[in-house]
Structure 1
Amino acid sequence: MKDLGNQSAYWDGAGATKTFTHPVNLTWLTEVNRTARILDYGCGYGRVTAELSEHGFSDVSGADPSPTLIARARRLRPDLRFTVLSSPPELPSEPETFDVVLLFAVLTCIPDDDTQQALFTELNRLLTPGGLLYVSDMVLQDDERNRNRYATHANRFNTPYGVFTTDDGAVCRHHDISELHTLLSDFDLVDERPIKITTMNGHQSQAVQILARKR
């Protein structure tokens, strides 16, 4: 089984204390029925799950590989449904269970190409035909600090350019936009927008949000 990058120790430790900041563009969801079945995949402590619930979506659930983050989510919002992914990327749900899946700052936590592709295969299975996939993630940064981190990690570990290790031990990945488009090759692009975010470690960075529809 693939396990989303083998970083459970980090996300059950230092990662469980982080604050996540990718914003939800609610205008992208204005035509989604408030009773639609929505999955916040890689939900962390349930920030996006809770925000969607607060905006009237009544069938929202979250799933994450970290038991510690899921425990935090359940403490914050005991009224919502949260699942620990015991064998990621697989979710124990029937095919075509969800109308919308959100994938916020998840790919940056998966440095491996094969594991990313396995995740998208699973998301494709979970979504209904015509269902929406809303991705928000990090793109390659062009500042010297990040260029040095990318090059150092690639030279040492023979990883794709864009993979790096944070100061507190997480292995992360920033993506060329073409890499994200390739992962979405089984979907139709609906919209795309660049954004700026504050990372979980407090740095200002470039990111992108993509809305895609399952064929």
Structure 2
Amino acid sequence: MKDLGSQVAYWDSVGVTKTFTHPVNPDWLEGVSRTARILDYGCGYGRVMAELGEHGFTDVSGVDLSPGLIARGRQLMPDLRFAVLKSPPELTYPPASFDMVLLFAVLTCVPDDDAQRALVAELSRVLAPGGLLYVSDMILQDDERNQGRYAAHAQQFGTPYGVFATDDGAVCRHHDIAELRALLLGFDVVDERQIDIVTMNGHRSQAVQLLARKR
């Protein structure tokens, strides 16, 4: 699980057909310049990038480890700037290249603690001082179905509590909110909200969004 590219086969096959749903909160964008340099890390097929364009943002780039999802995005929205991640989490951009980075439903796809920390460190590297990191991700669910699979996966594989396998083959992680906050070393959390979403597999679930500023 430490290899961020270990699930490329899933995202290039089953995953490329999914619909992603985490919403953008426009209130959190009000104070961001429309010419801000924005990166959507784990952009999938560009859904959030297109929404940012609808809000008037003119300098938006997206990267994803799945060539299949990137190909879907280029077909659907050829005017957007997409790139495939060759060696995630490493980015080819120099330090301080962006004023804002979005990380929507990505940490749930990176179950390993060390891999998550490496990803956030890389995003911090490419963010300018004072830049914003906008995280949207899944939190621990309290229903019997989810708690059962958390416990089963932890017992079988020794993974952190909250890791599980979906019926169609993805390995995902739901988080204690405190775990997500703890990842953001070097950032100040300036806003937080819990939201209801429908997952890519059609289940209604709880998620959290964090807006954090790089020190």
TM-score band w.r.t. shorter chain: over 0.9
Q: Could you give the per-residue CA deviations for residues 113-134 of structure 1, whole angstroms, max 9, x where no partner exists?
A: 1110100110000100000000
**Aligned equivalent of 2:100:** 100
1:5 Cα deviation after fit: 5.5
- Given that 1:5 and 1:110 are in contact with CA atoms closer than 8 Å, whether structure 2 keeps it comes out as no
Amino acid at match of 2:147: R
> What is the alpha-carbon distance in structure 1 between the residues aligned to residue 59 and residue 83 of structure 2?
14
Amino acid at match of 2:171: V
> What is the alpha-carbon distance in structure 1 between the residues aligned to residue 23 and residue 3 of structure 2?
26
**Aligned equivalent of 1:168:** 168
- Given that 1:3 and 1:87 are in contact with CA atoms closer than 8 Å, whether structure 2 keeps it comes out as no
Runs of 4+ displaced beyond 4 Å: none
- Given that 1:3 and 1:89 are in contact with CA atoms closer than 8 Å, whether structure 2 keeps it comes out as no
- Given that 1:194 and 1:208 are in contact with CA atoms closer than 8 Å, whether structure 2 keeps it comes out as yes
Alignment of 1:94-133 (within 5 A): 94-133=94-133
TM-score normalized with structure 2 length: 0.98
SS at match of 1:70: helix
1:3 Cα deviation after fit: 3.7
SS at match of 2:91: coil
Amino acid at match of 1:128: A
1:77 Cα deviation after fit: 1.0
Determine whether 1:192 maps to 2:189. Answer: no
Tell me how many residue pairs correspond in the alignment: 214
Return 5+ residue gaps in structure 2 as ranges: none
> What is the alpha-carbon distance in structure 1 between the residues aligned to residue 30 and residue 3 of structure 2?
33
- Percent identity, please: 75
**Aligned equivalent of 2:61:** 61
CA RMSD of aligned residues (A): 0.8
Determine whether 1:203 maps to 2:203. Answer: yes
Amino acid at match of 2:202: G
Q: Could you give the per-residue CA deviations for residues 37-64 of structure 1, whole angstroms, max 9, x where no partner exists?
A: 0000000011001110111100001000
Determine whether 1:180 maps to 2:177. Answer: no
- Given that 2:5 and 2:88 are in contact with CA atoms closer than 8 Å, whether structure 1 keeps it comes out as no
